[in-house]
Amino acid sequence: MNAPIPAPRVAPASEAIPSRTPLLSRTGWTLVTIALAINCMLVPVSALLLPPDSPLAMSPYGLTLAGKIMCYALVAVALDLVWGYCGILSLGHGLFFALGGYAMGMYLMREIGRDGVYQSDLPDFMVFLDWKTMPWFWHGSDSFLWAVAMIVLVPGLLAFAFGWFAFRSRVKGVYLSIITQAMTYAAMLLFFRNDTGFGGNNGFTDFKRILGFPIAAVETRVALFVITGVALVGAFLACRYIVRSKMGRIVTAIRDAESRVMFTGYDPLPYKLAIWTFSAVLCGIAGALFVPQVGIINPSEMAPANSIEMIIWVAVGGRGTLFGPIVGAALVNGAKSVFTASFAEYWLFFLGALFVLVTLFLPKGVIGTLVDLSRSRALETVPEDDRSVWHGHA
């Protein structure tokens, strides 16, 4: 007599997939809290209160380098939102980064006042080029609120206009990537011209003050560092909220099968356009935070190579993870600082080799590979009959 076949196990309601996934796990919130504590408490104490000869004191160079890397990490998170979750490989995000930097740079140039080389109300480069009056688009640039508005509006409106025509025309894949790179290259050539009113190939530099505070003072640099760290955490949480929402699920579905999403009644255009525009705004904010900490902005920030390097940050860290690009930006730019100081002529070879090795052996990046390994080990501890339920929770 044959033994009865056991009925398949049905997951109880308590094990059903939750209708709304939490923004972060308990471990995730703990890491965010630790990051904010280091950024807002430990670093200011290390830079301001400890004596310079203390091994725990952070030097001005270290403060600037860490702030710059956090700006790059913010760009990487923004790029991961459009590439990792929406499937849009952009080779032009360096343009949005530079536009935000130029908007902040215009304000900082006006803050110099008569402390410039020529002691004129006009920026030094305008006096040097024998400009008599300030161009119309410079009016209002002496207001910090105007600068904040331009930091958001200029990259956002440009991204919206570009995305509207590109996505409406169903341009995608490598063709879209080439168009974004061409747009960035064209803008770089435009900004290199001296008659455009943006400083030509020298750009903007020699900043003195921001909101009336000396920009070279350690206290000002610490404040910029803290603001950059808070902006990075805020951008990460905002992107995390988007990808965990219904909109994020639709965007991911568009990435995987756009035609099927259209068949179910959703129009991909507004979703792709919203993600694209929001990502550009985040890049503009990163550029605005980058300029006062580094002290210069010029058209080289729009070079196509810079946008390609941003792709490498995301690929190394792990596309489609949000946290991975932060790690990738830190690893690549940290290595860049070491290699350019000791082996400057080999840096580009190292960067190319890193990208090739990651593509061949870690296609999901550092964090993506670690996540897969942790899930595989966790799955080994789950009974065979329960693995389908566990997969539903994952």
Q: Could you read off the pLDDT of 120-174 as tens digits, one per residue? A: 889 988 998 888 889 999 999 999 999 999 999 999 999 999 999 999 999 988 9
Residue with tokens 């200011």: 44
Element (DSSP H or E) covering residue 297: strand 296-297
DSSP letter at 55 equals T
Distance from C-alpha of 3 to C-alpha of 143, rounded to nearest angstrom: 82
Q: What is the mean pLDDT of residues 200-224?
A: 93
Average pLDDT value over all residues in the chain: 87
pLDDT tens profile 289-305: 999 999 999 999 999 98
pLDDT at 11: 42
- Checking if the pLDDT of 16 tops 50, the result is no
* Residue 233 pLDDT class (50, 70, 90 cuts): very high
Q: Is residue 12 part of a domain?
A: no
pLDDT at 10: 43
* Residue 98 pLDDT class (50, 70, 90 cuts): very high
Distance from C-alpha of 333 to C-alpha of 316, rounded to nearest angstrom: 11
Distance from C-alpha of 190 to C-alpha of 194, rounded to nearest angstrom: 9
Q: What is the mean pLDDT of residues 227-252?
A: 95
* Residue 25 pLDDT class (50, 70, 90 cuts): confident
- Checking if the pLDDT of 226 tops 60, the result is yes
Q: β-strands 204-205, 209-210: how paired? A: unpaired
* Residue 33 pLDDT class (50, 70, 90 cuts): very high
The phi and psi torsions of 118 (rounded to 5 degrees) equal -95, 0
pLDDT at 383: 64
Cα dihedral 171→177→180→185 (10° resolution): -140
- Checking if the pLDDT of 180 tops 90, the result is yes
- Checking if the pLDDT of 72 tops 90, the result is yes
Q: Which residues pair with 48 in a beta bridge?
A: none
Residue at 289: amino acid letter: L
Contact 93, 280 (CB under 8 A): yes
- Checking if the pLDDT of 352 tops 70, the result is yes
Q: Is residue 356 part of a domain?
A: no
pLDDT at 381: 65
Q: Is residue 102 part of a domain?
A: yes
Element (DSSP H or E) covering residue 201: none
CA atoms within 13 A on the CB side of 254: 29
- Checking if the pLDDT of 189 tops 50, the result is yes
Q: Is residue 163 part of a domain?
A: yes
pLDDT tens profile 252-292: 999 999 899 999 889 999 999 999 999 999 999 999 999 99
Burial class (CB in 10 A: 0-12, 13-18, 19+), 99: buried
pLDDT at 222: 96
Q: Is residue 137 part of a domain?
A: yes
Element (DSSP H or E) covering residue 209: strand 209-210
Give the least confident one: 19-23, 175-179, 205-209. 19-23
Q: Is residue 105 part of a domain?
A: yes
pLDDT at 350: 80
Q: Is residue 370 part of a domain?
A: no
Work out how many domains the chain is built from and give that number.
1
pLDDT at 379: 61
pLDDT at 82: 96
Q: Is residue 125 part of a domain?
A: yes
- For CA atoms 232, 274, 184, 90, give the dihedral sign: positive
CA atoms within 13 A on the CB side of 30: 3
DSSP count for the chain of H helices, then E strands: 15, 4
pLDDT tens profile 360-393: 887 788 888 887 777 777 666 656 655 554 444 4
* Residue 52 pLDDT class (50, 70, 90 cuts): confident
Residue at 186: amino acid letter: A
pLDDT at 371: 78
Range of the domain at 97: 60-301
